[in-house]
Chains A and B, each alone.
Chain A
Amino acid sequence: MSLWSRLGNAFRGDQLNREIDEELEAHIAEAIAQGRDLVEARRALGSTLRHREGSRDVKLVTWLESLRSDAVFGLRQLKKTKVTSLAAILSLALAIGACTSAFRLIDAILLRPLPVANPQQLFDLSRQGIGPEGKPQTFDGWAYPDFQLMRAAVRDQAELFAVSYAEPVDLTYKSDEEIERAYLQYVSGWMFPTLGLRPALGRVFTENDDVKPGGHPYAVLSHDYWTHRFGQNPKVIGQTFRMGNEIYEIAGVVEAPFTGTEPGMMVDIFIPTMMHPGVTRKDWTWHRTLAVVKAGAAFEPMRQKLEATSYAFEAERAKGFHGMRQEDIDHFLDQRLLLEPAATGVSDLQSATRRPLAVLGVLVGLVLLIACANAANLMTAQASARAREMAVRVSIGGGRWRLVQLVLVQSAWLALLAAAVGSLFAWWSGPFVVSMINPPDNPARLVLPADWRVLGFGLAVALGVTLLFGLAPALRASAVNPVSALKGGEDPHSKRRLMHALIAVQVAFCFLVLFVAGLFVTTFQRLSHQPTGFSADRLLVVEAVAKSPQPVEFWEQVAEHLRNVRGVETVALTDSPLLGGGSWNNFISVNGGPPNGVLSYMRAVSPVWLEAMKIQLIDGRDFRPGDTHPGAALVNETFAKTYFDGVDPVGKTFDLNMDEGLRLRYEIVALVGDVRYKSLREPILPQFYVPFRSIDKEGQLGKRGAGILLVRTSGLNPRALAAVLRQEVPRARPEFRVSRIRTQMEINQSHTVRERLLATLALFFAIVALLLAGVGLYGVLHYSVLQRRREIGIRIAVGAQAGGVARLVTMDVFAMVLMGAVAGIGLGMLSVRYVESLFYQVRATDLQMLALPSLAILAGALLAALRPVIQAVRIDPASMLRAE
C-alpha cells in the first residue's frame, strides 16, 4: 500500500469502516447460504466492532490517527490556558511576521532573479581602480563608443547591451501644460530579444531600432505603466509624448513583469540608446553595460579581451587630457575590468542596502530566537504542570515518541497560529517599510509579490520555530519518570535549570539588539544634526524647465517676478541645489602653476544666493548683477585652506583647466563659510561658486534649458506656496514651466534615509526584544514562585523577612540576567566590527553605548520581577500549608 493510500485511509475512516462491514456482512450471508443459523454465524464471527478495530488498526497508519487526536488535544490544551497561549502566539507572531517581512524586502532587493529568460548568464561590467580623490573605487558607468568596441570584441562569447541609469523625467502627452513624471531607461534595442522578452502589445525593439544617433524616436512601455497610466488601453500604440524637444511614438508594451534591470526602480518607458544625447560622446559615462555570456564561453580570456579593448579606448582618449597630473592619468588608465554576476539585476539600491538589510536580518532573527525561548519556557512550564498526566500516559503504555509527538504537535499549533497572524503583519509591514526608505519625491519602487517564495519561507520559519522551541520540552516531557512523578514530583530544579539557561540566552540576545539599536539611533542623530553650513528652513527648491534653452536674462526676469509674490522673502538662481546630488568638478591651478591633484567642486549661483541660503560671508562681497562666468568666483574656507594655505584669498585669482589646454581665469571676490556639497558623511570639499550669468566663447550671454529657483518663504510652511509658484513661473515668462518642487529639508533628509530606516527599525526591534524578554522573565519567575510556594510558606512561617523571600525568589534568575548581559556585551563587541561602516561618529566602546542597554535591561528585569516577588511575599503560610 502506498503512502498515499495510507494517508487516504487516515482521512477516509468512514469509508473504510463501511467496506469492512460489507465484507463481514458478505461472510454472514455466505454462512446462511451454507445452511447455518444467522445467530450462530454472527456469534462465531464475534463483534463486528471488534473486527473493525482489529482490521482498521492494521490498515490505518497509526500515527496519522494519533496525530489527528493529538492536534485536537493540543488545541484544547492551548485553549485551557488562554492568556499564556495568547501571549506566546502574539510574541511569536510578531517575530515571525517581522522575519517574513524582512525576508520579503531582502528577497525583493537582493535575491530575486530578474524575470528574464536567462538570469544566470547575466553579468555586469565595471571597472575597479583608484579614483580622482586617491581612494579605491569601483564604477560601472561606460561611454557608448567604448561599449561599441567591447561589444564587437567579444561578439562570439557574449552579447553585450547598454542600459542607462534609470531616472525620473518630465514629459507631456497631449497638452504641454500637463507635465508628468515617468521613470525612463535608455536600453539597447537588442536587449529585448537577448533577454527573451516578448511584447504584450505592439512590438518591442530589436537591433534595427538602435542604429542611428537621434534616429529612433520610439518608446516601449512597461506592463505596469501601461496598466496604471493607460488602464491597459490597446489604443495606446501610436500615441505620442514629448520629452525635451523630441516627440516619441509608443511602439509597444513589453510583457509583465519585466520593469527594467534595477531592483528598486520600476521603469515606465524604454527608449533606444541612440536617442540619448551622450551616445556619441567619449567622455560621458552614462550607462551600465550588461553581458549575456554564452554557455561554454571561456570566461577569463573574454574578461581580458574586454579589459584590453577598453584600455586601448581610454589610452587613446587620454592623449587629449591636459592639465592633469601624470599620476592621475596613470590611475585613470590602470583599472581592472570586473565581470560580476547580475542575475538579480544591478542597482544603487542593492549596493546601498546590502549591509543594512543584512543587519536587519540578523536583528530580526535574534528577536525570533527570543520569542522562541519564551514559547519554549511556556511549553516547559506547561509540560511540568502535566507531569502527572505524562506519567500516567507512560505507565499505561504510551510510547516515548508518542509523548514527544504530543508536545511537538502542541508547539506546531502555536507556531502555525503565530505564522498566520504573523503573515498578516508581514503583509502590512513590507510595503510600510518600503515607504519609509523612500524620500517622498523619488520613491524606490519595489516589486513585492507575496508568492511561493514568501510562503515557503514563512512555512520554513514556522517549522524551524516548532522544532526549536518544541523539541527540548518534548524530549524532557517524554523522559518523565512515572514512579517519581506520581509520587509527587521529581527534582523540580531540573526544569528550572533549562528555563534559567533560556533566560540567560534571551538576555544576551536582547542586550545585543539594544546595543546595536543604540548605535544606529546615535548615528542617525549625529548625522541628522550635522551642521550643513546653510539653513534649510522655509526654503523651496523649484526646478524650472524651458522648451528650448533660454537666455540667462530671462531666467533672471523669472526670479525677479517671483520676488514680488506674496509670502516670498527672497529668490536666487542656481544650477543645482546643495546636497541635491549633482556634482560639477574640475582641477584648478593657482598662479599659473600645475594643478595640485585635488578636485574643486563648483556651483553656478546668482547674486543673493548667499543670503537665500544663509551662508556666512567671511570676507569680500556678494556677486553683483554684472559679474559673469568666467570672471568672478566665491570660494569657501576649505578652498582657501587647500589652495592658498589658509591665507585670505580675496582679490587673488586662479585658473580653471579646461580640455585642449584652455584656461579660464577667475578673480576671487569673496571668502564664504563651508557648506556640505554632496554628502553629510564626507569631509567638507573645496568649493567655489561662479555666477549663474555665463558668457560663451563668442562673448554672448549663455542659455539654459533647466535651472533651479531657490525660494525662501516667509511662511512657516514653504509647501503652501508651491501651487502659487507653479502658476507664477509661466506668468513671468511663457517659455518656462515648473517641473518639480521640493523643500531643501526633504533634500537634506534624503541623505539620512538609510540611517533613519536602520534607527527606526532597530529601535522597534529593540522594544519588541525588551518586551519579549520581560514577558519571558516574568513567566519564569511566576512559575518558580508557584512551584516553590510550599517552601516559601514554610520559610515565612519560621520568620523569614520580606527581603529574604524576595532574594530567594529572584537571586537565581538575576544571576542569569547578569550572565546574559555579560555574554551580550561580548557578542556586541564581536559583532560590531561587521557593521562599523554604517556608524557615524560613534564607537562601540563608548561607555554610554554600553550603559544604556544595560540600564534598559535592568529596568525591564526589575519591572518583570515586581509582581512575582509581591506574590511570594504575600504567601500566607497558614492557608498554604493547610492546602497541602
Chain B
Amino acid sequence: MAKADSLQGSMDLLVLKILSRRPGLHGYAIMSAIQDISGEVLRVEEGSLYPALHRMEEAGWIRAEWITKETGRRARLYEVTAAGKKQLGMEESRWQAVTLAVNRVLREA
C-alpha cells in the first residue's frame, strides 16, 4: 500500500498527537501543523497522508466529520477517539523507548 517514506512508523504518532492537542483539523491543516511545529524538518509526503488517515479511521483511532466552511466548500475534520488516545499513549512510550535505545547506541558505541 503506502510506499516507504521518511515518516514511516511515526506518522500515526504525529497525527494522533497533533489531533489530541487540536481537535477538528482537516488533512491539509494536519500536514501544515507537523511541518510548522517541527520547524520544517519533518515533511509529510502528501500522497501518503490520506491513506494513513483513512486507515486510522478504519482502526477506530480517529473519527471524521464533514463541515461546510464559510467559502461554501466542504471540509473533512478529524479528531481523536478514546481508542486513539490509548493508542497515542502506547505509540508515545514506544517512541520514547526506541529513541532512548538509539541514543544509547550513539553514545556508547
CB–CB B50/A30 < 8 A: no
Interface flag for A355 (CB, 8 Å): no
CB–CB A51/B76 < 8 A: no
Chain B positions 44-71 with a Cβ under 8 Å from a chain A Cβ:
46-47, 50-51, 54-55, 57-58, 60
What are 30 sample pairs from A and B whose C-beta atoms fall under 8 A apart?
A1-B57, A1-B60, A20-B50, A22-B74, A22-B76, A23-B27, A23-B76, A24-B50, A26-B26, A26-B73, A26-B76, A27-B26, A27-B46, A30-B29, A34-B32, A45-B47, A50-B47, A51-B47, A54-B2, A54-B50, A54-B54, A55-B50, A55-B51, A55-B54, A57-B1, A58-B1, A58-B51, A58-B54, A58-B55, A58-B58
Chain B 70-87 per-residue mask, 1 if CB under 8 angstroms from chain A, else 0: 000111100000000000
Report, nearest first, the 9 A-B pairs whose CB atoms are least far apart.
A46-B47, A30-B28, A54-B51, A55-B54, A44-B46, A58-B55, A45-B46, A23-B76, A58-B54
Residues of A within 8 A of B2 (CB): 54
State the main secondary structure of chain B at its contact with A.
helix
Interface flag for A59 (CB, 8 Å): yes
Residues of A within 8 A of B60 (CB): 1
Interface flag for A29 (CB, 8 Å): yes
Residues of B within 8 A of A51 (CB): 47, 50-51
Residues of B within 8 A of A54 (CB): 1-2, 50-51, 54
Chain A 52-68 per-residue mask, 1 if CB under 8 angstroms from chain B, else 0: 00110111000000000
Residues of B within 8 A of A55 (CB): 50-51, 54
Additional A-B contact list (15), CB under 8 Å, known A29-B73, A30-B26, A30-B28: A1-B57, A1-B60, A20-B50, A22-B76, A23-B27, A26-B73, A26-B75, A26-B76, A30-B29, A34-B28, A54-B1, A54-B54, A58-B54, A58-B55, A59-B54
Chain B 13-33 per-residue mask, 1 if CB under 8 angstroms from chain A, else 0: 000000000000011110010
Distance between A26 CB and nearest chain B CB, rounded to angstroms: 5
| Residue in A23, A31, A44, A46 whose Cβ sees the most chain B Cβ within 10 Å | A23
Contact check: which of B1, B32, B51, B74 meets A26 at CB < 8 Å? B74
CB–CB A27/B27 < 8 A: yes
In the bound assembly, the distance between CA atoms of A23 and B73 in angstroms comes to 10
Residues of A within 8 A of B29 (CB): 30
Residues of B within 8 A of A58 (CB): 1, 51, 54-55, 58
CB–CB A46/B51 < 8 A: no
Distance between A34 CB and nearest chain B CB, rounded to angstroms: 7
Residues of A within 8 A of B74 (CB): 22, 26
Q: Please count the residue pairs between chain A and chain B whose beta carbons lie under 8 angstroms apart in the complex.
A: 56
Distance between B18 CB and nearest chain A CB, rounded to angstroms: 16
In the bound assembly, the distance between CA atoms of A651 and B75 in angstroms comes to 116
Residues of A within 8 A of B28 (CB): 26-27, 30-31, 34
Residues of B within 8 A of A46 (CB): 46-47
Distance between A10 CB and nearest chain B CB, rounded to angstroms: 14
In the bound assembly, the distance between CA atoms of A20 and B66 in angstroms comes to 12
Interface residues on B, range: 20 to 34
Residues of B within 8 A of A34 (CB): 28, 32
Residues of B within 8 A of A44 (CB): 46-47
Residues of B within 8 A of A22 (CB): 74, 76
CB–CB B47/A23 < 8 A: no
Residues of A within 8 A of B51 (CB): 51, 54-55, 58
Chain A positions 595-644 with a Cβ under 8 Å from a chain B Cβ:
none
Residues of B within 8 A of A20 (CB): 50, 54
In the bound assembly, the distance between CA atoms of A51 and B1 in angstroms comes to 10
Chain A positions 49-95 with a Cβ under 8 Å from a chain B Cβ:
50-51, 54-55, 57-59
In the bound assembly, the distance between CA atoms of A29 and B26 in angstroms comes to 12
Distance between A59 CB and nearest chain B CB, rounded to angstroms: 6
Distance between A784 CB and nearest chain B CB, rounded to angstroms: 46
Residues of A within 8 A of B27 (CB): 23, 26-27
Chain A 18-45 per-residue mask, 1 if CB under 8 angstroms from chain B, else 0: 0010111011011100100000000011
Q: Closest residue of chain A to B28, judged by CB?
A: A30
In the bound assembly, the distance between CA atoms of A30 and B76 in angstroms comes to 12
Residues of B within 8 A of A29 (CB): 73
Residues of B within 8 A of A59 (CB): 54, 58
Residues of B within 8 A of A45 (CB): 46-47
Distance between A590 CB and nearest chain B CB, rounded to angstroms: 96
In the bound assembly, the distance between CA atoms of A22 and B26 in angstroms comes to 12
In the bound assembly, the distance between CA atoms of A802 and B104 in angstroms comes to 85
Q: Closest residue of chain B to A57, judged by CB?
A: B1
CB–CB A1/B75 < 8 A: no
In the bound assembly, the distance between CA atoms of A51 and B29 in angstroms comes to 18
Distance between B22 CB and nearest chain A CB, rounded to angstroms: 16
Distance between B59 CB and nearest chain A CB, rounded to angstroms: 9
In the bound assembly, the distance between CA atoms of A29 and B69 in angstroms comes to 12
Residues of A within 8 A of B46 (CB): 27, 44-46
Distance between A44 CB and nearest chain B CB, rounded to angstroms: 5
In the bound assembly, the distance between CA atoms of A788 and B16 in angstroms comes to 64
Distance between A109 CB and nearest chain B CB, rounded to angstroms: 53
Q: Closest residue of chain B to A47, judged by CB?
A: B47
Residues of B within 8 A of A26 (CB): 26-28, 73-76
Distance between B75 CB and nearest chain A CB, rounded to angstroms: 5
CB–CB B58/A1 < 8 A: yes
Distance between A82 CB and nearest chain B CB, rounded to angstroms: 41
Residues of A within 8 A of B55 (CB): 58
Distance between A335 CB and nearest chain B CB, rounded to angstroms: 70
In the bound assembly, the distance between CA atoms of A57 and B75 in angstroms comes to 22
Residues of B within 8 A of A23 (CB): 27, 50, 76
Q: Closest residue of chain B to A56, judged by CB?
A: B54
Residues of B within 8 A of A50 (CB): 47
